[in-house]
Structure 1
Amino acid sequence: MTTHRNVETALRSALQNEDASIRRRLPTKPARASAPVLPEREAEISKEVAMGEGDLARLAAIAERCLPAASKKQARSTILRAGLLALESMSDAAVRQLAARLPALEADKPKKKDRKGKKR
């Protein structure tokens, strides 16, 4: 009976060694691309951003695309924040190439007020 146990132990050891050898020789699966890390809730800081009419139309279209997934229309700020996460996950070269394709905007400057607080 001890001979049978010795043979069984030897076979198990040999199989474990063979499994380990196979794992070392075979390539491992590539790591899955992880989802972008969502930022924690932050205090809102309002800043003005220059956008053309086409950009606003794109925002509205994307908000409409979000409707089936959400019960309410997504706010423009939510869509812009999602876009920032998408840009963050892109390579530097891809972001530079995308930014280079965008035309420059001429931002409207606010009218200056005179000393009495009235617009000119």
Structure 2
Amino acid sequence: MTLKWWAVVVAVVCLTSAVTANVVIVAVDGEQVPLLVNLFALTTAGTAVVLAVLAELHDRLNDRVTALTEFLVARLNEIEAHTGDRNAGFVEGYLLTHGPDAAVVPLDRRGRGAAER
């Protein structure tokens, strides 16, 4: 059972037990349940409801992020496949037009002017 459903069960049990206790005590003794007991039951049920809502929102956000990730992966694979095919011939053609041995030209040293050459 997920956190969301545990929170819903806790909230239902808490509210049911509080209402039942209030009805039974009023019917039997004619008195009221102490305020602290009612506040504890309401606080527990409210916290459980908030936790259930947050768990549901987390599940929805996780589903959206997963869907977005899958879409981006598919789109990037499509782009990579398309550009890989287009550039493959260009690179091969470029490499074939240039010889395997490229000339290496050394750079001038820094600090020396054109007059010293």
TM-score, normalising length from structure 2?
Answer: 0.28
Which is richer in helix?
Answer: 2
Select the structure of larger CA radius of gyration. Answer: 2
**Using CA pairs below 8 Å that are at least 6 residues apart, which structure has the higher relative contact order?**
2
